[in-house]
Amino acid sequence: MSSIVVVGSMAFDTIETPFGKQDKILGGSANYFSLSASQFVPVKCVSVVGQDFPKEHLDLLKSRNIDLAGVRHGDGDTFHWSGRYGYDLNEAQTLGTELNVFETFEPELPESYRDAKYVFLGNIAPPLQMKVLEQVRKPQFVALDSMNFWIEGQRDALIKAISKCNAVVINEGEVRQLTEKYNMVDAAQVIRKWGPQILVVKRGEYGAVLFDHGDPFCVPGLPLAEVKDPTGAGDTFAGGFVGFLASQANTSLSRELLRRAVVYGSVLASFTVQDFGFGELLKLSREKIEERYRRFVELTRFTRVA
């Protein structure tokens, strides 16, 4: 069993959905990813928090197999994101981004992180993603997430970071923006030319698509009677995806394994959307995860001979 180094944000989120409003609750890509991936393997977290970040939450993360030696305590306030969703929870409208301690963040990995075999470069500035990756000696599997903000503002740096990765895990709209291809089959080819042999397209409630060297694989989202807040679902997905792969580190990275990893990603994400913040994620167990995996099996089951 391998461990994963993740870099991403630890944040406060102010979120408005048709189902309620939450003011400055805990969030951030590193948080969502870590809480998800640590269901499978130990996680080593790289991030920065402000003076106002609650110590109890850090203690909670530590108690869950999440190493915080790489989390710096900056002089100032924690990163704060505000956003709003309409009934179409697939798309967030960003209302405000206060970078705060992230403005001057320089990631430096503790020695104990540098032999990690699995790396997840969460959604932060591409040069910071590169800086983290350069500090890991011999990574076996590197996955990257990004967003419109970086695609627009730092496209070249982002493509450079992407070229060092095995997998890109991003939203459908961002795939289009990044590759300038509308069709996903075309987009996957563009990304494969840049370097990564794996593209995972996140489609919100419509699930995810895996493009590798063979035929694509689709897993739908689980239709849920109650969906409250999609914030963090993408990072939770990535946590399940990379976490499962890292837990199978002894086996070779087969197409079968990648497909199961995409299903685990979808399983984990399906919990996150059921409540605001980490609500459901904190109540998780491997048993609940396996139970929901079986719901995905049932959701997609049909007679496989014509």
Residues comprising the chain, all counted: 306
Nearest partner of 47 among 113, 102, 100, 103, judged by Cα: 102
Distance, CA of 189 to CA of 208 (rounded, Å):
17
Strands 198-202 and 208-211: antiparallel
Region near a second copy per CB under 8 A, out of 71-79, 222-230, 231-239, 271-279: 222-230
Give 95 or 224: the residue with its C-beta nearer to a second copy: 224
- 227 lines the binding site for a second copy (CB under 8 A): yes
Burial status of residue 240 (CB atoms within 10 A of its CB: 0-12, 13-18, 19 or more): buried
- 299 lines the binding site for a second copy (CB under 8 A): yes
Site string for a second copy, 236-265 (x = CB under 8 A): --------------------x--xx-xx--
CB of residue 216 to a second copy, shortest distance in Å:
5
Give 147 or 201: the residue with its C-beta nearer to a second copy: 201
Phi (first) and psi of residue 69, to 5 degrees: -60, -25
Six-digit token string for 11: 């944040």
Nearest partner of 253 among 296, 298, 196, 202, judged by Cα: 196
Which residues, 146 to 205, sit near a second copy by CB under 8 A? 182-186, 203
Region near a second copy per CB under 8 A, out of 28-36, 66-74, 143-151, 286-294: 286-294
Instruction: List residues binding a second copy (CB under 8 A).
Output: 18, 87, 182-186, 203, 206-207, 209, 215-221, 223-227, 256, 259-260, 262-263, 290, 293-295, 297-304, 306
